[in-house]
Amino acid sequence: MICGVGAREPYPGEPGTKARLTVGHRIAEIRKGEASLDNLQTECARCNEQAQDTPPHPESLGEVLAVVKQLGAADKAALLTWLECGYRHRNKVDFAYDRTRRLAPSEKEHIMAFLRSATKGMRQVGGAEVDDPRNLSAATEEPFADAPDDSS
């Protein structure tokens, strides 16, 4: 992935847009990149289109290792687990999000109204602003653990 946007997610700062994922080359064919599985990556259509003219340089071990070394111990452990398993472990909030986004718009609004009510007054979860989901840590298993349970 180049920009990190997921399938059908909006592009940052562009509500109402939906990303379409494609497959591209890590090292472009014009740079003598091979047509092998090792050289393929998931890209949004925008990143893939831009890569046609001026393909970005692929990540390098040194650059990525520098970022990984700056992670805290819990984040390093989570990353190791994801890498060993070959996928990111998703928590129950991820699964609830997936199911919610498949609802009709009016049904999604009902879920959002419930969440606004259930989280009223909650400004921070683990030090992250609740109203900016990009700030929620992937390691946070229960970001709304303090929210009342209205399922009874």
SS3 track for the chain: CCCCCCCCCCECCECCCCCCEEEEECCCHHHCCCCCHHHEEEEEHHHHHHHHHCCCCCCCHHHHHHHHHCCCHHHHHHHHHHHHHCCCCCCHHHHHHHHHCCCCHHHHHHHHHHHHHHCCCCCEECCEECCCHHHCCCCCCCCCCCCCCCCC
Which of the four pLDDT bands, split at 50, 70 and 90, describes residue 26?
confident
Higher pLDDT, 127 or 64: 64
pLDDT digits (tens, 9 = 90+) for 10-21: 887 788 888 888
Higher pLDDT, 110 or 143: 110
Which of the four pLDDT bands, split at 50, 70 and 90, describes residue 135?
very low
Report domain extents, the chain: 1-58
What is the reported pLDDT for 30?
67
What is the reported pLDDT for 28?
74
Alpha helices in 86-146 (DSSP H): 92-100, 105-118
pLDDT digits (tens, 9 = 90+) for 61-119: 899 999 999 999 999 999 999 889 877 777 888 888 878 877 788 888 999 999 999 99
Say yes or no to pLDDT of 36 above 60: yes
